[in-house]
């Protein structure tokens, strides 16, 4: 019997779609001005999904991240 999967797509090119409000994004940018803040934000989001049990399947050229997670029946 195979696994049942839940799927999620996250747009890593847009801070709002990653769960950050505009004020949160501006604060994040100010706090990470010495590094690539977009890369830092993406890493936080990827690690957050991983800690919630999501498995990264792929990231396409437009920075859409595809995740899957086993559904417990």
5 in helix, strand or coil? strand
- pLDDT tens track for 3-62: 899 999 999 999 998 999 999 999 999 999 999 999 999 999 999 999 999 999 999 999
Question: For the chain, how many structural domains are there in total?
Answer: 1
- Count of residues for the chain? 73
- For residue 46, the enclosing domain spans 5-70
User: In this predicted structure, what is the pLDDT of residue 3?
Assistant: 81
Under the banding of pLDDT at 50, 70 and 90, the label for residue 73 is low
Name the pTM for this structure: 0.82
Tally: H helices and E strands in the chain: 2, 3
User: In this predicted structure, what is the pLDDT of residue 53?
Assistant: 95
């Amino acid at each position: 019997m195979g696994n049942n999967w839940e799927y999620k797509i996250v747009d890593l090119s847009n801070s709002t779609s990653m769960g950050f409000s505009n004020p949160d994004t501006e604060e994040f940018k100010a706090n990470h001005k010495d590094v690539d803040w977009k890369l830092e934000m993406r890493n936080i989001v990827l690690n957050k999904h991983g800690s919630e049990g999501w498995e990264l399947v792929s990231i396409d050229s437009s920075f859409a991240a595809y995740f899957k997670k086993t559904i417990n029946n």
